[in-house]
Amino acid sequence: MAPIRVLVVDDSVVIRKLVSDLLAEDPDIEVVGTAVNGKAGLQKIALLKPDLVTMDVEMPELNGIETVRSLRQSGNRVPIIMFSTLTERGAEATLDALSAGASDYVPKPANVGSVGRSMEQVREALIPRIKSLVPRPGMLSLPGVARPAQPAPVVLRTPAPRPPGGYRLLVIGCSTGGPEALSALLAGLPPLPVPVMVVQHMPPLFTTQFAARLDRQLDVEVTEAAHGQVLRPGTVCIAPGDFHLEVVSDARGLVTRLTQAPPENYCRPAVDVLFRTAVAAVGGSVLGVVLTGMGADGAKGSRNIVDRGGAVLAQDQATSVVWGMPGAVTNAGLAERVLPLGELPAEITRRLVHPHVGGPVGTPANRAVVGGAR
């Protein structure tokens, strides 16, 4: 099996060496070159044709955002992982890079003076992303999670009858590729009669900037969740970085709860936590949506939803940056429908706003077979 060929683009000689050295230790990865800025990076990409590029956001001559934009405008779809500082400015720049077409990002090591710890931080964040974005049969993308050599066809779950009184909550989980997917999904929805709760795997500051950006871009109100926030129909509530987002029911209605309980699926916030507590709060009156992302976060929570009579939709592989999370839900037989990103808004609208358009949700006629993953 050929190794994944990676180009490292960064103006810092320390970061270039750190990243190159740790990647060279992995037998599945080969560093084919380095570049000192975006301009040199474009030349190396054309020459070396790497499978993946790691790229600094802030560089002289041509920064990371401009480099990503140039590549995408030329039609080059090579996966790009951005390196970003954990600052407000770094978060905003990283979101700009993702909007321009970057695939994912990792935090830059905060203390390059401690080389051993810095390498470990980058290794834990970077290598799973590389292996998820450039899949190889059987290769481990996350600890203990190997890719199947040939994913089998899956059968969609027979749609459950609509919950009495309809759905009361829409919950969404996403990770790699999620910022752009979530933005497109929300932009395609009309005003909804239920609250929307989101877990997007992101660190602190990034979720603050992400929620503020969506609030500016969309007609709907988008907030970063605060502890004890009363949920209102039509509003979108995004889990803050490093906190699990839960929902509870009390005399005020549906209310958020933030905790720093241990990570689940290596994540905090975790999709499973949101989905599980949503079911505890409103029973089966939950519609879950699992978008692009690596790993399997959301699969256990999706089972909680369907076991109580709720429904789960999943993004298809063709439109996902990484078909890990939605693939895990689909392959477990938990998804009622697996749809391209562009078709999910209409399906959500049909279930939440126009429940009788297109036939009842609970008809067995919606049962279908989906071919194996490409």
Identify the pLDDT of residue 1: 80
* CA gap 311, 344 in Å, rounded: 13
Q: Which residue has the tokens 């290769």?
A: 139
- pLDDT at 363 exceeding the cut of 50: no
Is 297 one of the catalytic residues?
yes
Tell me whether domains 4-136 and 154-370 share a fold.
yes
Place 362 in a pLDDT band, splitting at 50, 70 and 90. very low
Of the CATH numbers 3.40.50.620, 3.40.50.180, 3.40.50.300, 3.40.50.2300, which one belongs to the domain with range 154-370? 3.40.50.180
The structure tokens listed for 191 are 């005003």
Place 119 in a pLDDT band, splitting at 50, 70 and 90. confident
Tell me: the pLDDT tens digits for 179-224? Answer: 999 999 999 999 999 999 999 999 999 999 999 999 999 999 999 9
What residues contact residue 354 under an 8 Å CB cut-off, 6+ apart?
none
* CA gap 258, 93 in Å, rounded: 27
22-46 mean pLDDT: 96
* CA gap 204, 210 in Å, rounded: 10
Identify the pLDDT of residue 14: 86
Identify the pLDDT of residue 371: 41
CA distances from 261 to 242, 257, 258, 266, 322 (A): 10, 12, 9, 12, 27
* CA gap 206, 92 in Å, rounded: 8
Question: Among the ranges 79-88, 92-101, 140-149, which has the highest mean pLDDT value?
Answer: 92-101
Is 354 one of the catalytic residues?
no
Identify the pLDDT of residue 117: 73
Domain boundaries along the sequence of the chain: 4-136, 154-370
More confident residue, 159 or 12: 12
* CA gap 209, 88 in Å, rounded: 7
121-130 mean pLDDT: 90
- pLDDT at 360 exceeding the cut of 50: no
CATH no., domain 4-136: 3.40.50.2300
Identify the pLDDT of residue 173: 98
Active-site annotation holder among 175, 183, 285, 320: 175
Active-site annotation holder among 141, 297, 316, 320: 297
10-26 mean pLDDT: 92
User: In degrees rounded to 5, what are phi and psi of residue 37?
Assistant: -165, 180
Place 289 in a pLDDT band, splitting at 50, 70 and 90. very high
121-131 mean pLDDT: 90
Nearest to 182 by CA among 335, 293, 81: 293
For 64-85, give one letter per residue: b (16+ CB within 10 A) or e.
Answer: bbbbbbbbeeeebebbbbbbbb
Tell me: the pLDDT tens digits for 127-178? Answer: 999 999 998 776 655 654 545 444 555 668 888 788 888 999 999 999 999 9
Active-site annotation holder among 11, 51, 201, 272: 201
Nearest to 10 by CA among 47, 31, 38, 33: 38
Is 175 one of the catalytic residues?
yes
Identify the pLDDT of residue 364: 34
Please report, rounded to a whole number, the percentage of residues in the chain having pLDDT higher than 90.
76
